[in-house]
Structure 1
């Protein structure tokens, strides 16, 4: 880091190599904890279970393979993506941070060291076909791993010989990666940037096509609900360490102050809002840490258990706090989900409701642009939609909340715009 003196006092400039090292902190902690908690034999046995077992929503790798294996899977997958970022000399910005922490989070329920790579290969083939650098579509590819479960399902779930299953699964993953970039660009037009998980909307449509094709051949994907309950305290401790680390890092980098944070709170968060470029890395890290703690508080207030999906959801919210989310535009969404859960048929402490409240903040730009009440309505609608759309894609799309968010945003923003113009 380099020191900089200016009107706002002493601040730090984060160079790309320094940012790479910061991004390596969390996977390093996971790697250390993995081998402290479990023996190598148990860990690698668990990794095998994670790779070959179905990982359709919701599949908690902490329950499937154990804590050590889940931590190692997340650590290796995160390190691998950091290496790709480093080798491609990609600039560390808000979208990269959001994509990386999303991958880390979903490495606890759906993404593993096997099923993401065919999707990347599809992206490489697309970039060569379009004669563009893979670096230009890297972020889209990182988010496209939302479709990773289809690779596992077809590679290990079909009642065929492995010589047929594996190629089918890999080719399907490659095809998913190939079509993801052109589709995601067009999906953004439907919701006009008011759904931060744009790839979730895209992956939901792709997943729907795949699921429909499989059903046409009498291949039915069984949705799952495999959740752990025994690692609550450990997961809370690790998240608390990480978010306090981000707050301290941002606070010190911002001249030992919170000066300027109000600028972030004034932004709507609508795509594309990169806090690292608008407000600097120090304030971005502050926001990520604050949003992480806020997300943890939301889980605790609802009486939820920290398991793989909840852990991953909190990390994802923190990641997107470099790319659109802040307390002012997310609290209304959480309040809307809370209200819906209290009035409707679901238990507030159920994992599905809790992650809907966390991932539902994909609709944060609606609250950021149209106000608190609009955000509450968006959250209220989101819970009903997200609890019912999974059956359409069969759980193939890990970003089910992004799919739901795309539907809600596509319906709400034209209406809100019309009402605004009618004032």
Structure 2
């Protein structure tokens, strides 16, 4: 449920929504205007859409929900709905469609936003669930930011000179004193009923019992992962699941995506057009779930379940309540987490001591999405809203849950209830992991 604002608070909410929509659009424009039109229409990988498709799709979703549904206005371009329906055409097939040209896409997206802001000005945030608390506007702002991260991943797959630039992340300032911490067993509240930004798969709130377990205080670093490679991690079958080994063999995996080894055994990576040595102290990124599981087995560990991850990120050991963020209720800032494309890379482990949990777990939010061992499923009493295609059609279909967000994830999705999912073989996403393990009897006093 959402809380309807008092009449006097509607203008404050309206102003905040307009700011969020504007911030999302500023990022989309930066990601599309940084390349020429030929780059916008080119498919840089069959895994991804042309950038111009993503941009027009953003506008089409905004038109469908804000202009037509919430606003009740006539369509600007109902003739293109099928072209930009993500379920009608596979990504690999989209370059062959009669897509809007870059100039047409820009004009369309601009026209939709003008009408959407007119709708925002006259919308009362009460009554219908879609508009109560500004839900539809929140949903569209998050949708655009999700596609911005997708477009950022397309930029990473793009060949050519660097076109994106950002300052380096902060250096490590407070490395954890221990490599793992105990997360006590017991019940906690998973999901939410009240967060106005929460999407359908984050709802409803429900009680989950989690047995005590040990969790790494930081994500697995590049240096640690390189040790796995040097120990024969990609050659030794015993560390891999049957499915994982079959994929490793078929895809000829040898190292994280974008890594290459030098003649002397040192590792290099390509990052947004820059070729550089692999930084030892950054979380490893661009690994699939099968690689994460193989590493964890090699270390005598496992991946955490989704419930374990959320308990570690949200459970307040003092009052037993579930927090919105690992550090508490404060909105994420540049001192809490590496979010929002402030930097174009993960930060070294230990770079955000203010973002740690009370138990001392660092960087659960930002830097890299973290693979879990859980299949993407709906919570008890899950109900699709406002459309099945956001979550429901993906449930129980073999997708693996990722948590926490990456350096490319917007702060609006930095809450610890947010759920992401993808095929366990995917590596183009900004995904890493951390390890967990069961507590042995008598091990932890």
TM value normalised by structure 2: 0.24
Larger radius of gyration between Structure 1 and Structure 2: 2
Q: Counting strand residues as a fraction of each chain, which structure ranks higher?
A: 2
Higher relative contact order (CA 8 A, sep 6+): 1
